[in-house]
Amino acid sequence: MIFFKQNAEFEFEESFIEIKGKDVSLPTLISYIFDWLIYTAVLIVAIIYGRFSRPMATDFDVHDSSIMHMYVPELATFAPIWVLLLLGVVVPILFVVIICMFTTKLPLCRKLWDIQSCLLAMLGAVSCELLVVCLVKNFTAKPRPDFLSRCVPLSFTSQTMGTLSTISVCMNPFMYNVYEGLRSFPSGHAATIFSTSTVQAWFSVAKLNVFDGRGIACKAIISIVYPLGMASIVSFSRVSDNKHFIMDVVAGSFIGLFTGSIFYLIYFPFPLKLDNLGRSYLPRRFGVGDIFNGVGGFWKIDDLDGGYVERTEVPGYYETSNAENNEADKKEGVDPVKLSNENQSTNRNVEPFPSLASMSTSHQVKIGSKRVPRPSNTEGSKQQTLNERSVK
């Protein structure tokens, strides 16, 4: 297909597949599948790295009372891994689906697209924060509050005053538990649950229009207090369970808040535009960047007014020759030679086609597998066509 914009031509081969009666751009579909695969791959790499890698060698003081706390088995803590997955993954997903499906009257296609975008943002946030957390844990190798209980040093008196010990003094035969004791900073629990809870909070704030000026308390509680409060409880429980220091939790919470906010804003506009109703950006569109000054465009989907529609209006193009266009101009009473001379005399660019507002749906030209309107032959349309072709 060939697009025109101010006398410039460029081509892009677009292809479509039909899904339940809807034409879906194949490049766009593949690009989103690729996003899911990339985030999943990063998540798997982070999990494998965190599970099988060893932290950097570090030394410690066997007389340091801050790392002498009692060891609590992971399953006996307030928030073991299965609780983290439940409260930090399953609950936010269910919350997003319920909020999206039952709080707005948008078309089903639009609701499903918003859910997909939010889940993609959550996956991206979790995968990236987990990779960052695992890297920082291993390179800082900070002992946990219960490290000496994990280490079981040979003797607390063998260390000379003014010197430090290494893990070579540890008598615990389960070295994985010892190495895990050197991964205190930052808190992985805090980073994970805050990343998903932040996306959930932004999503619900936008969907419920919390900042509509009416100050409805239940909206704030559902959208902000619940997700961030639950994330705080899970995160700071790691301090009482002797797994982290307070600064470990604060750092992990900041990482989660940052990654969650960034990935939400990648897929959604800032949630202060009330008439947007928390809708995500439209599906990305390839091959139209030159039309929008190098910035990519979007496809339109079934939707109500008020949503994000920037960079969706692609100027019309015709699969007709210049001669056919000149014949059409003559029939409308426009002399193409005179129009060309006028354009050259002013030495300015002229929009080659009338705006979409001047087109009638009864006159259409096919674009790939789509159809766009062609100029109407009415008198009003003729005049508007002349105005559009006049020098701006």
| Ranges 112-121, 142-151, 292-301, 375-384: which has the least confidence | 375-384
Contact yes or no for 361/373 (Cβ under 8 A): yes
pLDDT at 61: 87
Closest listed residue to residue 144, CA positions, set 288, 33, 46, 247: 247
Query: Residue 1: is its pLDDT beyond 70?
Result: no
In this prediction, residue 213 has a pLDDT band, given cuts at 50, 70 and 90, of: confident
Average pLDDT over the chain reads 78
Give the alpha-carbon dihedral of 233, 238, 244, 248, to 10 degrees. -20
| Ranges 20-34, 289-303, 351-365: which has the least confidence | 351-365
Residue positions counted in the chain: 392
State which of 6-15, 40-49, 333-342 shows the largest mean pLDDT. 40-49
Rounded to the nearest angstrom, the gap between the alpha carbon of residue 26 and the centroid of all alpha carbons in its chain is 21
Query: Residue 226: is its pLDDT beyond 80?
Result: yes
Give the alpha-carbon dihedral of 353, 354, 356, 360, to 10 degrees. -110
Question: Mapped to the 3 state alphabet, what secondary structure does 282-329 carry?
Answer: CCEECCCHHHHCCCCEECCCCCCCCCCCCCCCCCCCCCCCHHHHHHHH
Contact yes or no for 107/168 (Cβ under 8 A): no
Query: Residue 367: is its pLDDT beyond 60?
Result: no
pLDDT at 338: 54
In this prediction, residue 276 has a pLDDT band, given cuts at 50, 70 and 90, of: confident
Query: Residue 238: is its pLDDT beyond 80?
Result: yes
pLDDT at 234: 96
Count of C-beta atoms within a 10 Å radius of residue 327: 13
Average pLDDT over residues 211-235: 92
In this prediction, residue 48 has a pLDDT band, given cuts at 50, 70 and 90, of: very high
Question: 29-58 b/e with 16+ CB inside 10 Å = b?
Answer: eeeeeeeeeebeebbeebeeebeeeebeee
CA distance 334 to 342: 12
Structure-block tokens of residue 344: 């050259």
| Ranges 64-78, 85-99, 162-176, 317-331: which has the least confidence | 317-331
Residue 221 DSSP symbol: I
Contact yes or no for 317/353 (Cβ under 8 A): yes
State which of 8-12, 13-17, 367-371 shows the largest mean pLDDT. 13-17
Average pLDDT over residues 185-194: 96
pLDDT at 54: 92
pLDDT at 320: 42
pLDDT at 20: 73
CA distance 2 to 12: 7
The more confident residue out of 90 and 345 is 90
Average pLDDT over residues 31-37: 94
pLDDT at 17: 76
Average pLDDT over residues 231-245: 96
Query: Residue 155: is its pLDDT beyond 80?
Result: no
Query: Residue 386: is its pLDDT beyond 50?
Result: no
Query: Residue 383: is its pLDDT beyond 60?
Result: no
